[in-house]
Amino acid sequence: MSLQTLEATLGRTAEQIQPRQLYYSSLLEDDGVTPKQLLPHWLIEPIQKDIQDTPELREFATRQIQFGGFGTRLSPYVVAQSLVHHLFAALKPAEIIANVIDLAGRNTCRTLQYIGLYGDGVSGQIILGESVSVMPAAEAPPSLAREWIFGMDRRGQPVLDARTSFRSIPLFRPNLALVIAQEAEIFVEPGAAVAATLSAIAEKTVRAVRALTLASGHPFVQSWQSSWLAHPAVPYEGFGGIGGTGTFDGPPQRRGAAAPVNPKLAEEMFFKTNTESLKL
C-alpha cells in the first residue's frame, strides 16, 4: 500500500466531517466549534488500517516519542486520530501526510516546555534569554499543554471544569507562562535516560524564577509544567495525551502591590544566575 492510498482515505474522511452531515454536531464539544478530543472509532479505524499497511508510516506509528523528558508510546490509532484532527483544521490530506513524514524522518525537534508561574508585574512577553521567555498565560502558544495547566482553550478562553475534570490537576491556575524552547531528541528507546533534558529545563526554570523575583522585589512561585512538540505534524490534540509534573502550592503571599517587572533587569539577572550560583 502507498501513501496515495492513505491520502485517499483521508480525503473520504474529510467528506464525512463536513457541517452538512447529520452527525457532524456529535463530533464537536458543547461549544459547537471544538472537535472532541476522543473521536468515534468509525472515523479512526480506516486510517489506522492504512497506516499499518503503509511502510513509510508503520514504524513511526509504533515508536516511543519524548515530550520534554517524558516518553509516551505512539500507536497507529493515536497517529490516525491526530490526522483526523488536522482535517478539522482544514488541512489538505497531502499536506497532513507530508508533515507527518517530515516528523517521522527527524531525530530531533523543537519542543516547548510550559511552566506555570504565580506572579505579578508581567503584562506582556519578557525575553529572559535565548529560548526562554515569560508572558501572561493567554499569550503562550496555544496547545493542549497550555489548556491543561492554565485552563485556556486554543482561543485563549477559559475552559469549563466539566470538560477538563480528568486533567485539572493544578488546584490554583497559574497566571503566567514560562516557556522554554529547545531542540531535543524526540524518539527514544523505552527506559532511555533523559536526565540531561530534565536537568537543563530545571536549571533554566530556577534561574528564571529567581531573575523575575529579583527584578520585581516580589516572589514568583512555580506551579505545574508540561511539554509540547512544536511541529506542524502535531495538532492541538497531540498524539494521544500529555504528562506533567508540579506542585499543588497556591499563589504566594505578598505585602503591597507588585511593581512592573523591569525586562532588562530580569534578562540581566537571568544571565548572572548561572549554574554555580544555583548551588549556593
| 168 belongs to a structural domain | yes
User: Could you give the C-alpha distances from 85 to 117, 154, 205, 232, in angstroms and in order?
Assistant: 30, 13, 32, 12
Residues in the chain with pLDDT values less than 70: 1, 68-70, 160-171, 190-194, 240-243, 247-250, 252, 254-256, 275-280
Reported pTM? 0.86
The answer on 252 and 157 residing in a single domain is yes
The answer on 223 and 158 residing in a single domain is yes
DSSP conformation class of 27: G
Q: Which residues contact 55 (CB under 8 A, 6 or more apart)?
A: none
Burial of 7 from C-beta contacts in 10 A (0-12 / 13-18 / 19+): middle
Q: In total, how many domains does the chain have?
A: 2
The answer on 112 and 100 residing in a single domain is no
Question: From CA 50, how far away is CA 54, in angstroms rounded?
Answer: 6
Question: From CA 245, how far away is CA 94, in angstroms rounded?
Answer: 36
- Would you give the end-to-end CA distance of the chain in angstroms? 60
The per-residue pLDDT for 173 is 87
Structural domain range at position 21: 3-62+72-104
The answer on 142 and 24 residing in a single domain is no
| 67 belongs to a structural domain | no
The per-residue pLDDT for 127 is 97
The per-residue pLDDT for 162 is 45
The per-residue pLDDT for 256 is 65
DSSP, collapsed to helix, strand or coil, labels residue 176 as strand
| 242 belongs to a structural domain | yes
The answer on 81 and 136 residing in a single domain is no
The answer on 173 and 114 residing in a single domain is yes
